[in-house]
Every structure is written in C-alpha cells, then in structure tokens.
Amino acid sequence: MMHTQSVTGVDVVVIGGGQAGLAAGYYLRRAGHRFVILDDQPTPGGAWPHTWPSLRLFSPAEFATLPGWPMPHWRGGFPPASHVVDYLTAYEARYDLPVERPVRVTAVRRDGPELVVEAGDRIWRARRVISATGTWQQPFWPIYPGARTFTGRQLHTVDYRTPDEFAGADVVVVGGGNSAAQLVAEISTTASTTWVTSRPPRFLADDVDGRVLFRVASERAMAIAAGRPDPGGPASLGDIVMVPEVREARDRGALQALPMFDRLTRDGVAWGTRVQHTDVIVWATGFRPALAHLRPLRLREHDGTIAVSGTRALKEPRLHLLGYGDWTGPGSATILGVGRTAKSAVAELDFDD
Ligand SMILES: Cc1cc2nc3c(=O)[nH]c(=O)nc-3n(C[C@H](O)[C@H](O)[C@H](O)COP(=O)(O)OP(=O)(O)OC[C@H]3O[C@@H](n4cnc5c(N)ncnc54)[C@H](O)[C@@H]3O)c2cc1C
C-alpha cells in the first residue's frame, strides 16, 4: 500500500521555483502568508541552467531585477545565463524563501474548501495555489511531412549547447524568434547554416533592447490597469532583439531567412521539387506552458491556455497562474516584468471563504 504523508498548515502552495515562483514568494512573505514553494529541479535557477551556455540577457542587469533586491551589476555588458542562476540562487537564500526541491508536482485536485497538491507520496493541502511552472519542459515541435523519414539529427533549442558539435555540417534552423536568430548567428560561425521561418523575420531596430521592451510592457500594464485601450505589447514593435551577436551575423550576411520548407526527405529538406541536403535540423520553435499538473481541474481552453482574469483562473478562482506569458500579465515571462504580476497575484489572493 502506498504510504501517503499529508503536510498541512500552509495557506498557499507555489508550484515552480523559477523567477516567477520566487517573486511570488517575496510578496507572500511580505504579506505574512504561510506558504511553501515546490520545485522539481535539484538546484535553483528555474529554466536558466537549461539554456545554452553562451546565452546572454537582452538587457543590462539593472533591467532584469526581481522585487526587493537588484540583480548585481555585470561588468561585461549584458549578463550571461550563469549570472542569472547565481542571482536567483542568492535571491532565494537572501529572503529565506521556503523552497522544497526536488519536488515534482503531478496533480492539483479540488477537495472541498481546499486544493490538494500531489507530489509522489506527499500531499499539501492549501487554500490557494499559485502555479508558476514556466515553459521550458514543454518544447514545441511542429510536425512536417517526412519527419520520420529524415535520417539526420533533429534537436530542439532546449537540447542545444555549442556550435562546435555542428562544425562542417549542413544545418537548418527553424523559427522566427530570438532563440532562432541567436542560434543562426552562433551556428553559422562553424557550419553551413540555412534559416527558415514561417513568416519573414521581424527585426527590432538596433537600439531597441530589453530596456525599451520593458518600458512598452509597463505602459501596457498601466493602460490596462487604468481601463484604457490596450496599446499593444512589445511584439507590436518586432520580435528579434539585435543583440551584438545577431547584429554581427546580419552584417556578415548570415541572417537571410528562407520560407519554411514543406517536407523533410531522407537526408534533407524540400520546397516543392527543390531539395537541400541537411545533416541537422534545429527546431527553435518555442515552448508551451507546462500545465500537465493542472489537468485534473479541467481548465484548459482550445488554445492550450487557461482563461484568467488578472492571474486568477476563471474556472477555479483559488488558482493563480504566474509567468507563462503575456496572457498572465504584460511582460510576466521576463525577470523584471514578473515582479509586478506577482505583486498583484498576491494582492488578489482572496481568503474570504
Ligand atoms: C532564449 C531565451 C532568452 C530569454 N532572455 C530573456 C532576457 O533577456 N530577459 C528576461 O527577462 N527574460 C528572458 N527570457 C524569458 C524568461 O526570463 C524565462 O523564460 C524564464 O525562465 C521564465 O521564468 P518562470 O519562473 O516563469 O519559469 P521557469 O524559469 O521555467 O521556472 C519554473 C520552474 O518550475 C519547475 N516546474 C515545472 N513543472 C513543475 C512541476 N510539475 N512541479 C514542480 N516544479 C515544476 C521548472 O523545472 C522550473 O524550475 C528568455 C527566455 C528564453 C527561452
């Protein structure tokens, strides 16, 4: 018989201990709530230890700051992912946030006035749950004809580490966002690289970096809060931030995108009758919210998201969603932006039941 350990005595369970979970923890502590943060990774940092090592933020450290304590300055320009990991590690220690890891939450269920959070043989009973599980565990792979026929290597952004392993190969990078552009910039230094996108890439102006994007996200949040028309998020300006590596790749002509191929062959990709030999396909095609643990609550809409008002799930008002993307608050999938949304999520926790 399975031994079940029941842990009670918390008002709020936060699922996920990345930047969003920590920002929630900061405000929960300030509000005096009893809470725990459950994270399935062995070490702090959320998604950041899983990015490719050369990834840098698209803004200076001062613009990648969680509530309370700024990210320490990085002298060499925009900080690398390892600096973010160090910061998040120090942040949770500084505020003595009660993070338990590794704890993989497998289900959240309703049980009378409480929500029950299950992780293996452990159970937490909570009055409110904040889900902040991010996206990195749900890489999105579009399906194209011939995907199983292709005998070369296929990998997703989340599997990518360095360009050295592709030296001399014919590589196709798929995707129109920042990851794709940065991977093309990097891989094209060692391999013959083709970039394909389903619509023409939209480059931001050279002087638009994270600072401008955060300002636009803030203006949007303020307009929505004041009941004014939504002026549109940063995506209205373009998609791709011209970080130095991407600018350099553009200047040497490596950022010419082709339309998306229509099928894979045994050893290539094809547009109609035109076939191009390919050893490796890198799918830089994004991620989806990691929401499998919420399945028992039956909240998902057709587009895979959960309908929210602010951060509160419409079909389960005891549940808040934090950090997954603009649908849970403007800029809430960024380090600076999530603080504002975490603050309002904690303020919106309503224990009147
Ligand atoms: C290529 C790239 C570049 C980026 N650059 C920037 C940038 O320059 N500036 C910026 O601000 N943002 C940037 N971002 C965006 C953003 O900061 C990250 O996506 C961020 O990691 C999201 O934080 P999060 O806390 O919401 O999720 P995560 O960091 O993914 O944290 C969620 C945590 O929950 C855990 N978890 C998942 N499921 C469960 C479960 N069932 N039970 C328990 N734990 C679970 C995860 O393992 C993880 O530890 C970038 C993102 C990418 C992909």
How far, in Å, from the CA of 8 to the mean position of ligand 1?
28
- Which residue is closest in CA terms to ligand 1's atom 39? 133
How far, in Å, from the CA of 321 to the mean position of ligand 1?
13
Mutation to probe ligand 1, out of 43, 59, 328, 334 (largest number of atoms < 8 A from CB)? 334
Q: How far apart are CA 10 and CA 8, in angstroms?
A: 6
Which stretches of the chain drop beneath a pLDDT of 70? 1-9, 210, 213-214, 217, 225, 233-238, 353
Do strands 107-111 and 280-283 pair parallel, antiparallel, or not at all (unpaired)?
unpaired
Residue 126's nearest CA partner among 136, 139, 138, 113 is: 113
- Which residue is closest in CA terms to ligand 1's atom 10? 334
- Which residue is closest in CA terms to ligand 1's atom 33? 16
Please state, for a pLDDT cut of 90, what percent of the chain lies above it: 77
How far, in Å, from the CA of 315 to the mean position of ligand 1?
25
Q: Where are the alpha helices (DSSP H) in 188-265?
A: 210-225, 244-251
Residue 298 corresponds to which tokens in the numbers above?
A: 């039956």
- Which residue is closest in CA terms to ligand 1's atom 53? 179
Are 252 and 214 a contacting pair, CB within 8 Å? no
How far, in Å, from the CA of 334 to the mean position of ligand 1?
8
Residue 184's nearest CA partner among 334, 46, 52 is: 52
Q: Given this model, what pLDDT does residue 1 score?
A: 44
- The arrangement of strands across the sheet holding 257-259 comes to 153-156, 280-283, 170-174, 192-197, 257-259
Mean pLDDT for all residues in the chain: 91
Q: Given this model, what pLDDT does residue 351 score?
A: 77
How far, in Å, from the CA of 166 to the mean position of ligand 1?
27
Q: Given this model, what pLDDT does residue 254 score?
A: 95
How far, in Å, from the CA of 250 to the mean position of ligand 1?
28
Do strands 12-15 and 280-283 pair parallel, antiparallel, or not at all (unpaired)?
unpaired
Helix 335-348 and helix 19-31, axial crossing angle in degrees, nearest 10 = 40
Three-state SS at 83: helix
* AA letter at 268: G
Find how far residue 4's CA is from the centre of its chain: 32
Q: Distances from the Cα of 209 to the Cαs of 108, 199, 218, 256, in angstroms?
A: 38, 22, 15, 21
Q: Given this model, what pLDDT does residue 9 score?
A: 67
Three-state SS at 5: strand
Residue 193's nearest CA partner among 175, 166, 172, 176 is: 172
* AA letter at 15: I
HEC per residue, 130-180: EECCCCCCCECCCCCCCCCCCCCEEEEHHHCCCHHHHCCCEEEEECCCHHH
Atom of ligand 1 nearest to the CA of 46: 49
Three-state SS at 261: coil
What residues does CATH 3.50.50.60 cover in the chain?
6-137+287-347, 153-203+239-283
Are 67 and 335 a contacting pair, CB within 8 Å? no
Instruction: Tell me which fold the domain 153-203+239-283 belongs to.
Output: FAD/NAD(P)-binding domain (3.50.50)
- Which residue is closest in CA terms to ligand 1's atom 4? 57
Residues recorded for the chain: 353
Task: Write the pLDDT tens digit of every residue in 245-293.
Answer: 999 999 999 999 999 999 999 999 999 999 999 999 999 999 999 999 9
CA atoms within 13 A on the CB side of 126: 28
Cis peptide bond prior to 102, omega within 30° of 0 = yes
- Ligand 1 pocket at CB < 6 A: 15-21, 38-41, 46-48, 51, 55, 57-59, 64, 104-105, 132-134, 136-137, 178-179, 210, 290, 293, 323, 333-336
- Which H or E element spans position 195? strand 192-197
How far, in Å, from the CA of 22 to the mean position of ligand 1?
11
Q: How far apart are CA 31 and CA 36, in angstroms?
A: 14
Q: How far apart are CA 264 and CA 171, in angstroms?
A: 13
Output the DSSP codes for 90-136.
HHHHHTT--EE-S----EEEEETTEEEEEETTEEEEESEEEE---ST
Residue 266 corresponds to which tokens in the numbers above?
A: 């045994």
Q: Given this model, what pLDDT does residue 352 score?
A: 72
Place of tokens 């792979």: 141
Superfamily of domain 6-137+287-347 in CATH is FAD/NAD(P)-binding domain (3.50.50.60)
Sign for the CA dihedral angle at 297, 303, 308, 310 comes to positive
Q: How far apart are CA 195 and CA 184, in angstroms?
A: 7
Q: Given this model, what pLDDT does residue 146 score?
A: 95
Atom of ligand 1 nearest to the CA of 23: 25
Q: Given this model, what pLDDT does residue 219 score?
A: 75
